[in-house]
Structure 1
Amino acid sequence: IGTNETEEGKVFLNAQSWSVYSGVASEERAIKAMDAVDQYLYSKYGLHLLWPAYGKPNDEIGYVTRVYKGIKENASIFSHPNPWAVIAECKLGRGNKAMKFYDSILPYHQNDQIEIRQSEPYSYCQFIMGKDHTAHGRARHPWLTGTASWFYTAATKHILGIQPTYDGLIIDPCIPSDWKEFEVTREWRGAKYLITVENLNGVEKGISSITLNGKEVSNPIPIQENGTVNQIKVIMG
């Protein structure tokens, strides 16, 4: 399974994204892996779990081949793996792609298509019917997923790039090139950090400078004392 020699199940989302997330793939292969995700698995409702869907039962592969096309494991838009693809794109420094994937499955962005989605605009669902199903875009099993916590991780640690570590606070955003500035307040280890990130050159990733309370520092930013309020300014470039 998962090769270009098979008739069905050529591309699997988890294999593509985790080859990048784990650091196993070389840069060249990582880019190819995530380009394939965009080409074969992307839809306006999110990323499909696999492509093409299985249409014939295969005992050597198992259960997934007996599920109806576009439902659950058989080429639905399974929500839980979607944030891993966002993180993988951030690992590659492709903020535009990361936000494209993030926005596509965000429930809020589907609220104007409620007659298709048929689910709450404030809840991720276990899966959304895939493109091989006649009800493509319909969401099923709201709340029954760990998607929200993973997307919180993808958004805060990888898109906004605010990563608490043992040695200090790392700030390394990966954002859309049209974002010019954003601000975040982060409370961590008893201190408050007021973070401003400027992106006047319209890059997707890369840090030119970091200042902490007016003094230039580098990642990781030193841990500050309990009860302090600290100003951090990050210039991307």
Structure 2
Amino acid sequence: GTGDWNDGMNRVGHLGLGESTWLGFFLHGILGDFATLCESRGDTAKAERYRGQVRRLAAALELSWDGEWYRRGYYDDGTPLGSAQNDECKIDSIAQSWAVLSGAVPIRFGDRAIDAVRAHLVRRAIRVVLLLSPPFDTSAQDPGYIRGYPPGVRENGGQYTHAAVWAVMAMARLGSGDEAMELFHMLNPINHSRTPADAERYRTEPYVVAADVYAHPAHPGRGGWTWYTGAAGWLYRTGLESLLGLRRQGASFAIDPCIPALWPEYAIVWRFGRTRYEITVANPEHRCRGVAAAELDGTAVDPAAVPLVDDGGTHIVKVVLGAEPRPLAPSRRAVTTA
């Protein structure tokens, strides 16, 4: 079908036989989360059914490995999309990011997939992270109306910020704190207007996230549509959750950051209802990731489950980085289309 995140690829599976690798990774994550929810509500039969589907999906998704990255999908006739054998759209970022974020693939393959993003999609000279490359233009592929955009504009090989944020999240998930923060700053609109020359190139508001940034040779680094993108919320959550490591989990919260190794420390002041949490994170060994110890009001506490109460008081949380990082359960978030 054509129910993919990238609605511009509306002819990839319009006959009902095409497949979206990204949607497979996303479904893998969603079913895993729902299995946990069902189990917590006593519905073990449904939980096991969903976990069975997760296992089958993981096996099928393994077949989409193209040699250096994951394919984006398949047309109705079985022709791959996002493959090295394609002339255009050889690689698409969201299949690589969600291979990591879904937890569906071994870490070694996730690392290689994100390496491919670094090599083919990160354009530091114009401060963009491309959605796909090369853009659609003259090949025989008919992916849909995405090809109506000029090459390097919007979904057709420009930066689609929604997807670029997922790439940052995936890098943080893999522990690459220095690079994840670097790309986070690349996506921050204020950094596209620090000089008159930057502002002239970007040509849109520096105080809101742009849904897209052009990579077309005539307009490299020019901002596109603003004010309406779901990428703004994702960028906020990436900074707070993926990088600074603060995640609320029901009646508790976790602190598990992924930061630049050079950061000596940082602090978060969090208001929860009537209550104030003052959180400091020290990094004496200059690591990107790994929590050695945590305290809540002077008492040792599990950094993965810090009690969360709304008692109107002020609570002091101290975290020290230094231990080898623990494996994390995949963090899956509902997708909002931009």
> TM-score per shorter chain, which class?
over 0.9
1:11 aligns with 2:95: no
- Most deviating of 100-109 and 52-61: 52-61
Aligned to 2:191: 109
Aligned to 1:43: 123
What amino acid is the match of 2:119?
Answer: Q
1:135 aligns with 2:215: no
1:228 aligns with 2:313: yes
Work out which of the residue numbers 176, 198, 209 in structure 2 matches 1:124. 209
1:70 aligns with 2:152: yes
Shift of 1:189: 5.0
Determine if contact 1:57/1:65 at 8 Å carries over to the other structure.
no
Instruction: Deviation per CA, 1:35-90: give whole Å up to 9, x if none.
Output: 11111111232210101112215454222233211111110111111211111111
Determine if contact 2:272/2:310 at 8 Å carries over to the other structure.
no
What amino acid is the match of 1:118?
Answer: R
Determine if contact 1:124/1:142 at 8 Å carries over to the other structure.
yes
Determine if contact 1:167/1:223 at 8 Å carries over to the other structure.
yes
Aligned to 1:192: 276
Determine if contact 1:57/1:66 at 8 Å carries over to the other structure.
no
- Percent identity over paired residues: 30
Distance in 2 of aligned mates of 1:98 and 1:162: 16
What amino acid is the match of 2:155?
Answer: E
Larger radius of gyration: 2
Determine if contact 2:253/2:307 at 8 Å carries over to the other structure.
yes
The 1:62–1:197 alpha-carbon spacing in structure 2 relative to 1, beyond 3 Å, is same
- Most deviating of 178-187 and 52-61: 52-61
Distance in 2 of aligned mates of 1:40 and 1:61: 21
Distance in 1 of aligned mates of 2:136 and 2:227: 27
Work out which of the residue numbers 144, 152, 168 in structure 1 matches 2:228. 144
What amino acid is the match of 1:128?
Answer: V
The 1:224–1:104 alpha-carbon spacing in structure 2 relative to 1, beyond 3 Å, is same
Determine if contact 2:244/2:259 at 8 Å carries over to the other structure.
yes
Instruction: Deviation per CA, 1:130-167: give whole Å up to 9, x if none.
Output: 1x431111111121311211101000011000001014
Determine if contact 1:125/1:142 at 8 Å carries over to the other structure.
yes
Distance in 1 of aligned mates of 2:273 and 2:299: 21
Aligned to 1:207: 291
The 1:155–1:102 alpha-carbon spacing in structure 2 relative to 1, beyond 3 Å, is same
RMSD of aligned Cα (Å): 1.4
For structure 1, the residue ranges without an aligned partner over 5 or more in a row are none
What amino acid is the match of 1:231?
Answer: I
Determine if contact 2:154/2:224 at 8 Å carries over to the other structure.
no
Determine if contact 2:251/2:309 at 8 Å carries over to the other structure.
no
What amino acid is the match of 1:105?
Answer: L
- DSSP 3-state at the match of 2:292: strand
Report the number of matched residues: 236
1:217 aligns with 2:290: no
Aligned to 1:85: 167
1:169 aligns with 2:253: yes
Work out which of the residue numbers 100, 122, 125 in structure 2 matches 1:20. 100
What amino acid is the match of 1:54?
Answer: F
Determine if contact 2:277/2:317 at 8 Å carries over to the other structure.
yes
What amino acid is the match of 2:286?
Answer: G
Higher relative contact order (CA 8 A, sep 6+): 1
Instruction: Deviation per CA, 1:173-204: give whole Å up to 9, x if none.
Output: 00011111000011225422100000111100
Q: Give the alignment's TM-score, normalised by structure 1.
A: 0.95
Aligned to 1:52: 134
Q: Which has the higher strand share?
A: 1
- DSSP 3-state at the match of 1:154: helix
Over 3 Å off, 4+ runs: 57-60
